Amino acid sequence: MDILDNVNLLINYALNYLDLDKDDIIYAYNFIIHKIGISGEYKYRKVHVKQNDLYKIIFTFKQFLNNGTSDDTINEILSFLTPKPSQIINKYHSFNNKEDAFNYFYNLQINNNYIKKEEIAKNIIIKDKKSKYKIIVTINLSKPEKDNKEIAKLINNNQDIIYPKCALCIENVNNFKNKKLDLRIIPLKLNKQDWFLQFSPYSYFYQHCIVIKNNHEPMAVCLDNIKALFDFASQYKFLFIGSNADKPIVGGSILNHEHFQGGNMIMPLMNAKTKREVLINNFNNVKTYLMDWPCTTFKFVSKNKKDIINAIDNFLNYYKSYNNKEINIDCNYSTATIIARYFNDKYEGYFILRNAKTNNEYPNGLFHVRDNLQFIKKEGIGLIEAMGLFILPPRLKRQLKDVDYLLKNYAKKDEIYAKLPYLSEFLPMVNAINNKEVKSINDYLIKACIEILFDIDIFKFANNKDKTIDEFLSLYNKKEG
């Protein structure tokens, strides 16, 4: 394709999918030719263009530019063609309902290639059809793998002199250093404080968004943020919203800036059955259930927003003061993963008990992924995974192909191990398949991820888990009553 034809195609694309105004055609054309280093007359021609044509347009520019900075150049052009934040915010507020506004904003971030839909479509998704938990395992090909120790280091770093202070700060919009030219945000008011909404470029699930506090403050699981969660749930009734725990090992990868994650998806935990209703004193308008879930989770349900917030906050404070030496619960390390949503005309809060303690025997965490499963996942188990949607690192795509090759050529195993020594880490998987404990690599992944959920359970050291949970609850009810 002639490069000028491609420029014309892009301008047509921007008119159709990025709200480019006809009066801005020459303005846009001159920017594009400057960036790709061409010159010449241009006459706009209307051509038919589909949303998917974006990848063809990008590919043609890449071939033409044929240099190491072509990604950056294309990013600059697409960002230039994206409406300014103020224009997007105005349009967002012009919709009659939040759902239409949210869909508009989501589609715009796909259209300007901030959310890389084509790459996300290549992610591998494995569904659990056998166990009652119905978890989902994904191998996300665009997400970098992080180390818990690196995450812990980040919290203590004095980042005052760095601009923007972190990858979540509002100052990232149109920031060249962090390559966030195409990022756009929508301001929010939650619990009378300033927050903003943006999308995750990795999109772990449909309409995966991030809700971030304007102030660069560390994560804190506390009353103020429980209020903010339910405020969001009341404004965005079609989404769930959750907060990671505020400590390394059991939390997300960014702990130095308060933020939530949400999206338009029913998570496996939300489909799980309840085991039984439990009494939580003093909150008659709130029902509380113990979930049938590998890591101990309570579900709070109420029509009343204030009551559910107070019930969860009360329970959080109790859990944060609960010690039980026999089963290794040290309250100094206790925290929670909390998720809120509005469902069937009621508020729901999911409270997952977490603990970040380490000791000599468990240097990576007592309630963390066991050592012999870390070849699958070594990062902290955050809220998305605690709810049963696993995001496994991209390296696994290549590694699992090697495992498959090893299994199919097991007679030559010594030769293969010599060539690919890292495969020895995958021995638990190889043995389980060879011993017919599981049928396939996928079955092993599902089984391993369910085991990981049992690993993070804070009651896992109890001989009789049900009895210990009963005692834990009756102590709470005694204190409350």
Q: Please identify which residue in 257, 287, 377, 447 interacts with Zn ion, judged by CB under 5 A.
A: 257
Q: Among residues 143, 208, 216, 227, which is the contact residue for Zn ion, using CB under 5 A?
A: 216
Tokens of 468: 């210990």
Q: Draw the binding track, 459-478, toward Zn ion (x: CB under 5 A; -: no contact).
A: --------------------
For residues 157 and 473, the answer to whether their CB atoms sit within 8 Å is no
End-to-end CA distance of the chain: 76
- Nearer to Zn ion by Cβ, of 257 and 377: the residue is 257
Residue with Cβ nearer Zn ion (125 or 167): 167
Q: Tell me how many degrees the CA angle 474-479-481 measures, rounded to the nearest 5.
A: 90
Spatial contact of 196 and 185, defined as CB atoms under 8 Å apart: yes
What is the size of the binding site for Zn ion (CB under 5 A)? 6
Is residue 213 close enough to count as binding Zn ion by CB under 5 A?
no
The strand order across the sheet containing 259-263 reads 186-190, 193-199, 209-213, 259-263, 240-243, 334-343, 346-355, 297-302, 287-291, 274-278
Structure tokens at 271: 């489909």
Q: Which is nearer to Zn ion, 165 or 179 (CB)?
A: 165
d(CA 339, CA 291): 14
Q: Find all residues with CB under 8 Å of 435, minimum gap 6, and list them.
A: none
Which 29-88 positions form the footprint of Zn ion (CB under 5 A)? none
User: Nearest approach, Cβ of 165 to Zn ion (angstroms)?
Assistant: 4
Residue among 47 and 162 whose Cβ is closer to Zn ion: 162
Tell me, residue by residue from 168 to 187, as one string, x for binding to Zn ion by CB under 5 A and - for no binding. xx------------------
Least distance to Zn ion from the beta carbon of 180, Å?
A: 12
Q: Kindly tell me which of 18 and 166 has the beta carbon lying closer to Zn ion.
A: 166
For the bound state, the minimum distance from the C-beta of residue 191 to Zn ion, rounded and expressed in Å, comes to 19
* Residue 256 Cβ vs Zn ion, minimum distance, rounded to whole Å: 7
What angle, 0 to 180 degrees and rounded to 10, lies between the N-to-C axes of helices 85-94 and 98-111? Answer: 150
Closest CA to 262 of 337, 196, 339, 195: 339
In sequence order, what are the residues at sequence separation of 6 or more whose Cβ sits closer than 8 angstroms to the Cβ of residue 10?
Answer: 32, 57, 61, 77, 81
The reply to whether 165 sits near Zn ion by the rule CB under 5 A is yes
CB of 155 to Zn ion, least distance (A): 12
Comparison of 212 and 462: residue with beta carbon closer to Zn ion: 212
E strand map for 103-228: 124-127, 136-139, 186-190, 193-199, 209-213
Pairing of strands 240-243, 209-213: unpaired
**Considering beta carbons, is residue 143 or 257 the nearer one to Zn ion?**
257
Is the CB of 16 or the CB of 193 nearer to Zn ion? Answer: 193
Minimum CB distance to Zn ion smaller for 166 or for 272: 166
Q: Which stretch binds Zn ion (CB under 5 A): 159-167, 344-352, 361-369, 463-471?
A: 159-167
* Nearest distance, CB of residue 164 and Zn ion, angstroms: 6
- Name which of 133, 266, 264, 126 is nearest 203 in CA terms: 264
Question: Of 58-66, 164-172, 220-228, 331-339, which segment contacts Zn ion by CB under 5 A?
Answer: 164-172
Looking at 94-102, 208-216, 375-383, 453-461, which segment touches Zn ion (CB under 5 A)? 208-216
Q: Rounded to the nearest 5 degrees, what angle is found at the Cα of 139, between the Cα atoms of 388 and 263?
A: 50
Q: Residue numbers of the site for Zn ion (CB under 5 A)?
A: 165-166, 168-169, 216, 257
